[in-house]
Structure 1
Amino acid sequence: MNDTGNFVLVAENSETVWESFSNPKDTLLPTQIIGIGGQLCSRNSPKDFSLGQFQFRMLSDGSAVLNTVNLPTREAYDTYYITGTRDSQNKSNSGHQVVYDKSGYLYLLKKSGDVFYISSPKDVVAFPASEYYHKATLNFDGVLTLSCHLKSSSSANATWNQIKAIPNDICVAVHGDLGTGPCGHNSICTLNEDQRPSCKCPIGYSILDPTDEYSGCKPEFLPSCNGASSGDHFELRPLPNTDWPTSDYELFKPYSVEDCKKSCLQDCLSAVVVYNSEEDSCWKKKLPLSNGREVRTLSTTVFFKFSNDSRSGNKPDLPGSNKEEEDHTLVIVISVLLGSSVFVNFLLVSVMCLAFFFYSKRKYFVYPNESHVKSNLRHFTYKELVEATNGFREESGRGSCGVVYKGETDQSSPIAVKILDRMFQDNDKEFQAEVNVIGQTHHKNLVRLTGYCDEQQHRLLVYEFMRNGSLASFLFGGLRPSWYQRVQIAFGIARGLVYLHEECTTQIIHCDIKPQNVLLDDYYNARISDFGLAKLLALNQSHTKTNIRGTKGYVAPDWFRSAPVSVKVDVYSFGVLLLEIICCRRNVLDMNDNEEEKVILTDWAYDCYVDGRLEKLVENDMEVMSDIKMVERFVMVAIWCLQEDPSVRPTMKKVMLMLEGIVQVSAPPTHCLSTSVIN
């Protein structure tokens, strides 16, 4: 490893066999050069190091460009930045190399020796290389950034400071007809002060991947083209200063704004219309919407379609609309009653008014500071949590019955706030169960509940924040975690479940053990989260009856029988999760891209065990291959957990002891393995 940061493999004769500077990924260091055909490739997301959709390339015509790509085939799409150093008249004046020199200047060197600066020298002159480290990185969001880091800084919180961002506005720069910008389809890109983008979903849409705000948005409704007018089921809302420059498929001109809106409502393919009052033009756009952005100088009006079906749960509050409908209904009823006796009418109308009043006001009879929960945990007001989360701006995930947002308390401690937004019939009971019971649990492998809000109609839970995200992102990202880390995570999950099943005052069945519900703390310790689906048992109970709960692929067959379920449903789910930890792959894969025998991991692992070819489960993972005995022990434990008969499955206490090697693992049955229902 040279002082420049170049990692070099050298043969015995001192000849360079391979060097990292000639094989860049997403970052350049001073003295590094990109020649013709060389490129930087962004990562896919903040935590996914697989290849992303952005490239910085040195073309053979002499120009350096930033462009998007097709992820499956890596085909280059339109450029959104170009140096323009191609000279067809005088090829000696065309670009030749991209150079990141030792002073931190990024420029394109022409064949003639002339220099075209990609970053101006004045950008970095205030950060001399004698005092600062420098780097240039093509980020996952498509922004090429030049950054510096003070060499003399001894602070643990010292960070890289951005010097320059290319392009100046990534939200506006990426506007090609193919692909999408940094925010994914149907999303809206907003430029932050640091010239980096943030993304949000419009009304009626939700984020595709709750752990990645840049993954795009999915519609909460599915427009139907069955011949009926979609205007009966959809409404339009204006979005100020917003545009999707592509996705046009029809233009009406001249056209009024009302005709434009009506045309969108009556066309099930139309998701958005853009009306230009100066030209009396109406542009109709279809899904998916690409490269959405907010631009304050826009003079057009955008109307966005969303479902108004109350059964869908996607209709936003429209001030006065419900009241008008109710008032209209009340007038009709009173008119009918006027034909009856005055005294009877008076009684009936009085009763109806009282009933209407109590019905419309029922949820506000809880005083603001009155709580249904008796707990020693901190009671937050709703206003405090709104301020702590900056208006619930940064979504960090989705739990069993609500969305989770990142926030910060007055002590500057990060928190995770879950809003219970799915109104189950027994919602209040579940809320009180989480606060009263889960609030009393204290274990190093459980996410700790620190507070709650029980104010009027608001139900929120406050947890400690886990900086390293979910186990799903950790296992299934671009880089495979070390075998040691995976083993420790498996131990941690097992210990957490033992605590829930056997060591709590009130026994708890989690009911939804899966990688998304295991979080990782600062030291990558496993912390079981999301007890919203937990079924609580009294001390004298061993079974309980409830509706099917959990996630397909992890659900034990016990749920589909008339017999009561027990803690053994968690043992089954842990067996599936243990195989995923061993193999670093999801339980169910797409059959189109994989051999049929490998589609369902539990089946494939069982076949590999029976056939004596466990190395197939961990091929290309040399670290795991060197510890194949432990792999065999873990697979045997998983097969025990996956037995169809719950009475045959071991307890989590025994599972933990078998994993740790304290209890010997006997050969599991070879005929009673059950595969969780996945359809």
Structure 2
Amino acid sequence: MRNVHPDADGVFRVVAQQKNGSVPIGASLTATEDARSWLSPSGDFAFGFQRIRGKDNYVLSIWYDKIPDKTIIWYPQGNPMVSRGSKVELINGRGLVLSDPQGTDIWISSPISNLAYAVMNDTGNFELFDSDSRKIWESFSFPADTMLPTQIMKRGGVINSQKSETNFTGGRFQLRLLPDGNLVLNSRDIRSNYPNTAYYISGTYDPSNSTNSGDQLMFDATGYMYILRRNGQRFDLTPNDALPSGDYYHRATLNFDGVFAQYYHPKNSAGNTSWSVPWLVPGNICRDIVGERGSGACGFNNVCSLNGASRPNCECPPGLPLLDPSDPYGDCKLNFTPSCNEDEPYYKEDLDFMEFTDVDWPGTGTTYVIIDSINTQECKDSCLHDCSCAMAIHDGDKCHKKRLPLSNGWTNESLSLKAFLKYRKGELPRVSFPQFPGKKKNQKTLITIISALLGSSVFVNVIFIGVICLGFFLNYQRKAKNHYPNTKSVNTNLPHFTYRELVEATNVFKEELGKGAFGIVYKDERPSWKKRRHLALGIAKGLAYLHEECSTQIIHCDIKPQNILLDEYYNAKISDFGLAKLLIRNQSRTNTGIRGTKGYVAPEWFRNTPVTTKVDVYSFGVLILEIISCRKSVKENESGNDYGAILTDWAWDCYEERILDTLVGNDLEALDDYKNLTTFVMVGLWCVQENPSLRPTMRNVIQMLDGVVEVSEPPCPFPLSVTIS
């Protein structure tokens, strides 16, 4: 049976009355706080939208519905996370369709001309059937990060991890059954999907006898996993007798931290019983993942240690904060990057080292020199006088000199080596840096010293207290000298620059951009193509957050270079929300007067029509074309020749005539990365389409820039202008 109910927009849609897990054509679900779901006959599994913990986003998914934590076991690859009000619908001729609140398609299962119904079954598999009851699509064939009993992976099969616990986009790790029959775990480059060196190999490839090699990864109905060889023999993964008898749920998940583990959970448990782990690989991911490429179990410059559950913990070294504070497994940023540019000399007296024990960054890709028969001081001196050297690791009588970024960092008390990280004095606080992982050992040593002092004579204690007081006094005097007179001291983490550094950065204050109440703004030396790519992606992510991830949707209305702030690592921060427009819940467009800055204003502002977030997309399109070409959106040409005066027009001409070298001013670095250059230009041209409906969302922009979604050929952005001319 089916009932018909109106949506919030007044459109009547079919609401399924489920029977035996069956879902009829026309049935739909909407991402809301109290969203319904499609249940399997037993009620064990549910298909629908789950809200992501701590966010106002949702993920289309399949989960265990009877377990309190609602463990997710499937989600569509590529575009799983959506905003409130998004919808999934079963449509004949199209399949299972996921769309955003504006009705734009985000994900489609597969086009199906004679789709009849769908079934959420008790194995956790969501299936689509045609009018002859033939199965024509199933979620088991497109796994996310989890396998379930009765699910099979064939040779060439792959699953990707999540990016983090709350980010369901594709992460850094893969489980693959290679064509040769080996089951492997490897990290990957997310942008290119290029696999790095495997850190787990099953050993089920036999070069001397192909019939003895692996053929399928099996997860049988009893909960045991094994690799089925081509000769029919088994290579067991789940240890014998590792699973309890009784009624249990079973799953095997490639976790976001790169550990592949099998889990079981009692079906009829009282309270919040957790999942148990009968086996996992690798045994020590911190140590086993070391390779030439990739950052390791943790991000670049990060340090991995193993917890009691054989899962990695990641911790940035003191003074090196996380690049993304919300991702402890991500990269740690350094406050000093050694430079070998002759125009930017450094002085060894300005440098110092942070010292670590029981820590190593053994990534071979970052080691460029190994010196034998050398002591610790000689190792440090060698790094000090080498502008390419960011870290020196002294192990025995060997000195390993490393470049940035550091990879595969891990810690263990059994390591007998010392690591020295070079930094510029004044950029990091002069504190005693704790050792990894022996913090308790250091604390115990400190307690012992204090106890010994307190147990000594009164005379010694008086001297000790006097030394401390003198130290505080000198420190106070030093701080007082470092501040301007007659001003109050303000604690800040803003970087400080010497006059010499400012002279060099601005080419002796050559070009003035403008003046304000706080002083004059001067233009910096063109950024590298790599930095420009990073900048464009950062701005896109900031806008996507405003448009889709904020609890209240925000249209900025004035995206332009002057409103983009950069930190020292070229991380973009969107600023100046003076013209911003808030959208109330379930509102996708608004009426307001013209807002913005000449050269960045979308055409719909002048048509007296409601505006949407697509006005920011247009402004971003102009901005990304500026970032690519390193020129203004509107250029005043003193020669009187108007060709190329409007950046969007000129960019289209350069793209259409395939002369992108002209657009980037023969920037060799950009031209060497021609594929990405073309992608970025195409994205910019899609964003500046006169028709707002043709512009992508900022989430789509990120996916295109990241290479997750292929970019199609853009049409002429201004067909009306072309027709008139």
TM-score under structure 1 length normalisation = 0.52
Deviations 1:291-339 (A, max 9, x none): 010122222222222222x2x24443699xxxxxxxxxxxxxxxxxxxx
Cα distance in 1, alignment partners of residues 220 and 546 from structure 2: 35
Which of 407, 422, 431 in structure 1 is aligned with 2:493? 422
Are the structure 2 counterparts of residues 283 and 33 from structure 1 closer, same or farther at C-alpha, using a change threshold of 3 Å?
A: same
Pairs within 5 Å for 1:404-419: none
Does 164-173 or 84-93 show the bigger shift?
A: 84-93
The equivalent of 2:191 in structure 1 is 72
Report deviation, 1:170: 0.8
Asked if 1 retains the 8 angstrom alpha-carbon contact of 2:357 and 2:416, the reply is: no
Report deviation, 1:23: 1.7
Deviations 1:63-121 (A, max 9, x none): 11111222222222211111111122222222111111122211111122221112213
Are the structure 2 counterparts of residues 70 and 113 from structure 1 closer, same or farther at C-alpha, using a change threshold of 3 Å?
A: same
Asked if 2 retains the 8 angstrom alpha-carbon contact of 1:189 and 1:199, the reply is: yes
| Alignment partner of 1:292 is 2:409 | yes
Which of 136, 147, 161 in structure 1 is aligned with 2:252? 136
The SS at the match of 1:216 is coil
Which of 158, 172, 175 in structure 2 is aligned with 1:53? 172
Which of 289, 305, 318 in structure 2 is aligned with 1:190? 305
The equivalent of 1:616 in structure 2 is 694
Asked if 1 retains the 8 angstrom alpha-carbon contact of 2:153 and 2:216, the reply is: yes
Pairs within 5 Å for 1:64-213: 64-123=183-242, 125-126=243-244, 128=245, 130-153=246-269, 155=271, 157-213=272-328
Q: Which amino acid aligns with 1:489?
A: T
Cα distance in 1, alignment partners of residues 182 and 355 from structure 2: 41
Report deviation, 1:476: 5.2
Cα distance in 1, alignment partners of residues 341 and 178 from structure 2: 49
Asked if 2 retains the 8 angstrom alpha-carbon contact of 1:230 and 1:266, the reply is: no
Pairs within 5 Å for 1:8-407: 8-123=127-242, 125-126=243-244, 128=245, 130-153=246-269, 155=271, 157-225=272-340, 230-245=347-362, 246=364, 247-277=366-396, 280-308=397-425, 310=426, 312-316=427-431, 360=475
What fraction of aligned residue pairs are identical, expressed as a percent?
Answer: 33
Asked if 1 retains the 8 angstrom alpha-carbon contact of 2:394 and 2:419, the reply is: yes
Cα distance in 1, alignment partners of residues 232 and 619 from structure 2: 51
Q: Which amino acid aligns with 2:613?
A: L
The SS at the match of 1:223 is coil
- The runs of 4+ residues in structure 1 deviating greater than 4 Å are 226-230, 354-364, 480-483, 485-488, 575-578, 580-591, 593-601, 618-622
Deviations 1:349-370 (A, max 9, x none): xxxxx99986755999xxxxxx
Are the structure 2 counterparts of residues 13 and 356 from structure 1 closer, same or farther at C-alpha, using a change threshold of 3 Å?
A: closer
Cα distance in 1, alignment partners of residues 433 and 230 from structure 2: 64
Q: Which amino acid aligns with 2:177?
A: M
Number of equivalent positions: 408
Deviations 1:137-172 (A, max 9, x none): 1112211021222322354x5543444321111111
Cα distance in 2, alignment partners of residues 251 and 486 from structure 1: 48
Are the structure 2 counterparts of residues 233 and 114 from structure 1 closer, same or farther at C-alpha, using a change threshold of 3 Å?
A: same
The SS at the match of 1:99 is strand
Cα distance in 2, alignment partners of residues 116 and 556 from structure 1: 60
Q: Which amino acid aligns with 2:219?
A: Y
Deviations 1:443-474 (A, max 9, x none): xxxxxxxxxxxxxxxxxxxxxxxxxxxxx99x
Q: Which amino acid aligns with 2:695?
A: L
Structure 2 unaligned regions, length at least 5: 1-119, 435-468, 480-489, 497-536, 557-561, 565-570, 580-591, 603-610, 629-676, 701-725
Report deviation, 1:488: 6.2
The SS at the match of 2:211 is helix
Q: Which amino acid aligns with 2:422?
A: K
Q: Which amino acid aligns with 1:555?
A: D
Does 41-50 or 55-64 show the bigger shift?
A: 41-50
Asked if 2 retains the 8 angstrom alpha-carbon contact of 1:42 and 1:52, the reply is: yes
Report deviation, 1:31: 0.9
Q: Which amino acid aligns with 1:84?
A: G
Cα distance in 1, alignment partners of residues 263 and 211 from structure 2: 32
Cα distance in 1, alignment partners of residues 470 and 284 from structure 2: 56
| Alignment partner of 1:554 is 2:575 | yes
The SS at the match of 2:185 is strand
The SS at the match of 1:3 is coil
Q: Which amino acid aligns with 1:169?
A: N
Q: Which amino acid aligns with 2:227?
A: L
The equivalent of 2:43 in structure 1 is none
Q: Which amino acid aligns with 2:179?
A: S
| Alignment partner of 1:579 is 2:657 | no
Are the structure 2 counterparts of residues 482 and 188 from structure 1 closer, same or farther at C-alpha, using a change threshold of 3 Å?
A: closer
Are the structure 2 counterparts of residues 133 and 86 from structure 1 closer, same or farther at C-alpha, using a change threshold of 3 Å?
A: same
TM-score under structure 2 length normalisation = 0.49
Which of 490, 494, 497 in structure 1 is aligned with 2:553? 490
Report deviation, 1:619: 7.0
Cα distance in 1, alignment partners of residues 302 and 699 from structure 2: 37
Are the structure 2 counterparts of residues 356 and 161 from structure 1 closer, same or farther at C-alpha, using a change threshold of 3 Å?
A: closer
Cα distance in 2, alignment partners of residues 357 and 273 from structure 1: 33
The SS at the match of 1:205 is coil
Deviations 1:618-670 (A, max 9, x none): 57999xxxxxxxxxxxxxxxxxxxxxxxxxxxxxxxxxxxxxxxxxxxxxxxx
Are the structure 2 counterparts of residues 482 and 111 from structure 1 closer, same or farther at C-alpha, using a change threshold of 3 Å?
A: farther
Q: Which amino acid aligns with 2:162?
A: R
Cα distance in 1, alignment partners of residues 619 and 127 from structure 2: 32
Report deviation, 1:30: 0.8
Are the structure 2 counterparts of residues 40 and 145 from structure 1 closer, same or farther at C-alpha, using a change threshold of 3 Å?
A: same
Asked if 1 retains the 8 angstrom alpha-carbon contact of 2:617 and 2:698, the reply is: no
The SS at the match of 1:225 is coil
Are the structure 2 counterparts of residues 594 and 249 from structure 1 closer, same or farther at C-alpha, using a change threshold of 3 Å?
A: closer
The SS at the match of 2:493 is coil
Report deviation, 1:43: 2.0
Asked if 2 retains the 8 angstrom alpha-carbon contact of 1:582 and 1:618, the reply is: no
Cα distance in 2, alignment partners of residues 4 and 216 from structure 1: 38
Asked if 2 retains the 8 angstrom alpha-carbon contact of 1:273 and 1:283, the reply is: yes
Report deviation, 1:34: 0.5
Cα distance in 2, alignment partners of residues 513 and 226 from structure 1: 30
Report deviation, 1:257: 1.8
Structure 1 unaligned regions, length at least 5: 320-353, 365-400, 402-419, 426-471, 494-511, 515-549, 559-567, 623-679
Deviations 1:203-226 (A, max 9, x none): 442212121112211211122335
Deviations 1:464-503 (A, max 9, x none): xxxxxxxx99x959xx9999x879633999xxxxxxxxxx
Cα distance in 1, alignment partners of residues 327 and 472 from structure 2: 44
Report deviation, 1:49: 2.2
